[in-house]
Structure formats: structure tokens, C-alpha cells
Structure 1
Amino acid sequence: MTLPFFVYGTLRPGAYNHDRLLLGRTVVEEEALLPGTLLHDGPGYPYAVPGDGTVTGTLVTPAPEAYAELLAVLDRMEGGAGYERTARAALRVRDGAPARAWVYLAAPGTPLGPLIETGDWFRRRPGPAPDAPRTP
């Protein structure tokens, strides 16, 4: 199934892994929300989990010729960091339209850090942390 990706941490535009993995390999990037989800801080990157909240992120549509490779790279990277890929309904900010997307949620048993009440990892605290390097 070919779906866009809902990204909410280091894969968002301007952050370290976006620039390293996605920059120049997407056709559309638009602000989006993921309802029914809570955001927790992690060891240099956030974890989303099902819950009574909304996470802020970006809906990223890879270029067709890059899709299979990006899916494999993201599955490998995120799977090694305690995430599982699942399909969820995101909402486009510009018009509120729903969009089914792949999202990487924390796998069961993954230790979670503090709740990020804003639901936006970029707004969790001041400083340049969203651009910090991440170990795949």
C-alpha cells in the first residue's frame, strides 16, 4: 500500500533526518495533525502513542521513484529505535481534509519520556534540539 508518511520528529522539514533522508526525494510536504495520539519525549527524538491528544507534524509524500527505497530505509531506522509502522488518519492543516498515512508509533514496551503537552516536538522546549543528530 502506497501512503504518504506523517512525520513528527527528526523527519520533519528542517530537522536532521529530514535533510539527510527526505530532502529532494518528496513531491509534497504539508503541515498536518494526528488526532488520537499523545507525544512523549525520547532519547533525542519523540515517541507518539495512541491517546487522547493531537500530535503536530508534516504529511510527506515521497516521489514515486524514491518510495520503495525510503520505505525500507525508514522501516529499518525507526524499527531499530523502538517504533512500529501503522496506517492512521491524519488531518491536513490547510483544509482539515483527512489523509491516510504511515506513521511510526512507539512499539509496546518502549520506554517513554515525559509527555509533551503541546503535541509538537519542536515546541517542547527552547533550543536547537530538533536538529540534533540521531543514531539510526
Structure 2
Amino acid sequence: MTLPFFVYGTLRPGEVNHDLFLRGRTLAEEPGRLPGAVLYDGPGYPYAVEEPGGVVSGELITAREEEYTALLAELDRLEDYAPGDPRNLYERVEREVLRTADGTAVRAWVYVAAPAVAARLRGRGKPVEGGDWRGRGRADIP
């Protein structure tokens, strides 16, 4: 099934992995929101943890048809995701994402924290205020 991707961290436009993986391979990139998830700061990248009441900001990325299969495999590797592997850091799941412009719901692939990672983050992780990784406290930026 061909679905857009919802990205909320280093794959967002302007972030390092966007240029490495997505530049020139997309048809559309538009702001979106993932309801039912809370964003946690990770070691240089964020994790979306499925939790009622939260909202994560990011972009809906529609890949070019001829790039889709290869891109899906590359993003799975980037996110350390293999179907059914208990060592996964992320799980790729199909979720409803809302387009920011008009609130339309779109089914998309989202990489969320795997169960063991999500449990650790809920216990002692640091949520990103406002659910937008770009807006997190960045004292390193003048």
C-alpha cells in the first residue's frame, strides 16, 4: 500500500536527513499534525510516543511513485525498523494525520517509538513542549 510519510524530526525540510533521503524524491511536502501522540526528546532525534491527548507537529511527505519502494526501505533502515524485530527503536505504523491547512485526515506511515522505548520514555523521558521538535529549547542557536 502506497501511503505518504509523516515526519517530525530529522527528516523534516531543513533538517539533515531531509536532504540526505528526501530531496528530489517527493511530490508534496505539507504541514501536518499527528493526534494521539506525545513527542519526546531523544539522543539527537525525537520519538513520537502514542498517548491520548497529545499532538505532534511535522510534515506529510508524498514520495514520487518511482521512488516509493526504495525510499520505504531506506527509511526503515534509517529508523532501525524491521517488521517483528523486538530490538526495534521505532515501529512503522499506519495512522491518521491531519493536514494543518484544512484539517483533512490522511492515512500515513509514521515511525513511533517501539513499545520498550516508549515505556522508558514515559517513565523518565523529557517531553518536547508543544509537540514540535523544531521548537524545542535550542540554546545552541543564537
| TM-score normalised according to structure 1 size | 0.90
Looking at structure 1, the residues matched to 48 and 24 of structure 2 have their Cα atoms a distance apart, in angstroms, of 26
Looking at structure 2, the residues matched to 128 and 6 of structure 1 have their Cα atoms a distance apart, in angstroms, of 26
Runs of 4+ with >2 A deviation: 126-129
Quote how far apart the aligned CAs of 1:127 are.
4.9
Looking at structure 1, the residues matched to 15 and 109 of structure 2 have their Cα atoms a distance apart, in angstroms, of 19
Which blocks of at least 5 consecutive residues in structure 1 are unaligned?
A: 130-136
Aligned to 2:61: 60
Looking at structure 2, the residues matched to 93 and 64 of structure 1 have their Cα atoms a distance apart, in angstroms, of 24
Aligned to 2:84: none
Distance 1:4 1:128, change over 3 A: farther
Aligned to 2:108: 101
Quote how far apart the aligned CAs of 1:108 are.
1.1
Looking at structure 1, the residues matched to 98 and 139 of structure 2 have their Cα atoms a distance apart, in angstroms, of 28
The alignment partner of 1:109 has SS state of helix
Which blocks of at least 5 consecutive residues in structure 2 are unaligned?
A: 82-87
Give, as a single letter, the amino acid of the residue that structure 1 aligns with 2:16.
Answer: Y
Distance 1:82 1:95, change over 3 A: same
Aligned to 1:117: 129
Looking at structure 2, the residues matched to 77 and 7 of structure 1 have their Cα atoms a distance apart, in angstroms, of 13
Distance 1:96 1:64, change over 3 A: same
How do residues 70-81 of structure 1 correspond to structure 2 at under 5 angstroms?
70-79=71-80
Give, as a single letter, the amino acid of the residue that structure 2 aligns with 1:54.
Answer: V
Give, as a single letter, the amino acid of the residue that structure 2 aligns with 1:91.
Answer: L
The alignment partner of 1:70 has SS state of helix
Give, as a single letter, the amino acid of the residue that structure 1 aligns with 2:128.
Answer: I
Quote how far apart the aligned CAs of 1:53 are.
0.6
Specify which structure has the bigger relative contact order, considering alpha-carbon pairs within 8 angstroms and separated by 6 or more residues: 1
Quote how far apart the aligned CAs of 1:79 are.
2.1
Q: Tell which structure's C-alpha radius of gyration is larger.
A: 2
Aligned to 1:15: 15
Aligned length in residues = 129
Looking at structure 2, the residues matched to 95 and 14 of structure 1 have their Cα atoms a distance apart, in angstroms, of 23
Aligned to 1:91: 98
Give, as a single letter, the amino acid of the residue that structure 1 aligns with 2:80.
Answer: G
| TM-score normalised according to structure 2 size | 0.86
The more displaced of 1-10 and 107-116 is: 107-116
